[in-house]
């Protein structure tokens, strides 16, 4: 439906706010000229002449971000492996890291056995209590992860939030890492592979639920959307950001896919499809503790 753009001189009013309360505009959102509802603008561009695509407040769009090499300059799993080594949790560090490097190469080649990888990653944690590990994860996030965030990615995450969109971080890394990072970034949730625990809350070395790798990310997202639908909060528009060709099933699922710092196969695919290609590796953002 064609909408007339509001006059630039008219101050926008915040959704459900009293007259005179101004709404913050961002490149991703504006206000409906007719009903003051938040509207979603075309991706990475100003609105077309007189056109706004209207979304009801209950249909809040959802933005899904990969973590490693998308929001983070690097791989949090590899960083965590080095952290575990520094904790003294790994007996043969050289052998352990060599396997990790092989897995990283296989990931980029599209040949990774994700079950072998998760088993390897969880092996130093077997028998350790989740609280002990969480204390180390909290320190790890503050000291290793936060200084390596990509400023452009964090700004885009914030823009989606300011536009009234929900945000999820979805990663092939383990949930005991991704969950605290997503919380630190104030995302609305995290989808990642969950480790299994015994009755005493100790790591078993196994995983439970959906393994969020390749098609598994799409399965986890679909499960999340099904839960949202049952709560009558299903988003009517999906945005997606990733750097890897391994996430093609996910990017093909969303309405607005973005290739961020893409590997060569994803770049080729994105350019062929006309997807936006962005590079957030030009600067970093360190978020200070409150």
Domains of the chain plus CATH, in order, are: 1-54 (no CATH), 64-285 (3.40.50.1000)
Active-site annotation, residues = 66, 68
Mean pLDDT of 265-283: 91
d(CA 250, CA 240): 8
What are 222-253's pLDDT values in tens digits? 998 888 776 666 787 899 999 999 999 999 99
CB 241 within 8 A of CB 258: yes
Residue bearing the bigger pLDDT, 288 or 147: 147
Q: Please report the pLDDT score of residue 16 as a whole number.
A: 30
Q: Please report the pLDDT score of residue 232 as a whole number.
A: 60
pLDDT for 57 beyond 80: no
Q: Please report the pLDDT score of residue 286 as a whole number.
A: 38
267: nearest Cα among 253, 251, 282, 283: 251
Roughly how many angstroms between the first and final C-alpha of the chain, as a whole number? 44
Given pLDDT bands bounded at 50, 70 and 90, which one contains residue 11?
very low
Residue bearing the bigger pLDDT, 284 or 170: 170
CB 254 within 8 A of CB 61: no
Mean pLDDT of 54-69: 76
Tell me the H-state helices in the chain: 76-86, 93-109, 114-122, 130-140, 151-162, 175-184, 215-230, 248-253, 264-273
What are 176-200's pLDDT values in tens digits? 999 999 999 999 999 999 999 999 9
DSSP secondary structure, 66-135, as one string? --BTTTBSS-HHHHHHHHHHHTT--SSHHHHHHHHHHHHHHHHHT---HHHHHHHHHGGGTT-BHHHHHH
Given pLDDT bands bounded at 50, 70 and 90, which one contains residue 126?
very high
* Cα dihedral 256, 260, 262, 267 sign: positive
pLDDT for 44 beyond 90: no
Given pLDDT bands bounded at 50, 70 and 90, which one contains residue 59?
low
Q: Please report the pLDDT score of residue 13 as a whole number.
A: 29
**Backbone angles phi and psi of 64, in degrees to 5:** -115, 125
Residue bearing the bigger pLDDT, 237 or 89: 89
Q: Are strands 62-65 and 189-197 parallel, antiparallel or unpaired?
A: unpaired
Summary mean pLDDT of the chain: 80
Length of the chain: 290
């Amino acid at each position: 439906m064609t909408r007339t753009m509001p006059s630039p001189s008219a101050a926008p009013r915040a959704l459900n706010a009293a007259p005179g309360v101004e709404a913050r505009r961002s490149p991703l959102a504006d206000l409906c000229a007719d009903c003051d509802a938040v509207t979603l603008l075309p991706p990475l561009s100003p609105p077309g002449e007189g056109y706004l695509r209207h979304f009801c407040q209950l249909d809040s769009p959802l933005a899904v971000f990969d973590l490693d090499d998308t929001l983070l300059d690097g791989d949090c799993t590899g960083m965590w492996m080095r952290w575990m080594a520094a904790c003294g949790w790994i007996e043969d560090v050289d052998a352990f890291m060599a396997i990790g490097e092989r897995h990283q190469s296989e990931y980029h080649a599209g040949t990774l056995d994700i079950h072998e990888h998760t088993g390897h990653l969880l092996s130093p944690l077997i028998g350790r209590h989740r609280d002990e590990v969480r204390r180390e994860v909290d320190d790890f996030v503050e000291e290793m992860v936060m200084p390596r965030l990509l400023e452009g990615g964090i700004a885009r995450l914030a823009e989606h939030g300011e536009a009234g969109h929900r945000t999820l971080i979805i990663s092939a890394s383990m949930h005991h890492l991704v969950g605290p990072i997503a919380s630190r970034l104030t995302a609305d949730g995290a989808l990642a592979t969950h480790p299994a625990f015994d009755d005493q809350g100790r790591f078993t070395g196994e995983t439970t639920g959906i393994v969020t790798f390749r098609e598994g990310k799409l399965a986890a997202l679909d499960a999340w959307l099904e839960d949202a639908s049952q709560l009558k909060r299903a988003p009517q528009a999906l945005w997606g950001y990733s750097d890897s060709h391994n996430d093609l099933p996910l990017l093909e699922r969303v309405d607005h896919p973005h290739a961020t710092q893409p590997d060569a196969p994803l770049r080729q695919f994105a350019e062929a499809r006309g997807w936006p290609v962005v590079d957030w590796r030009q600067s970093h953002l360190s978020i200070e503790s409150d």
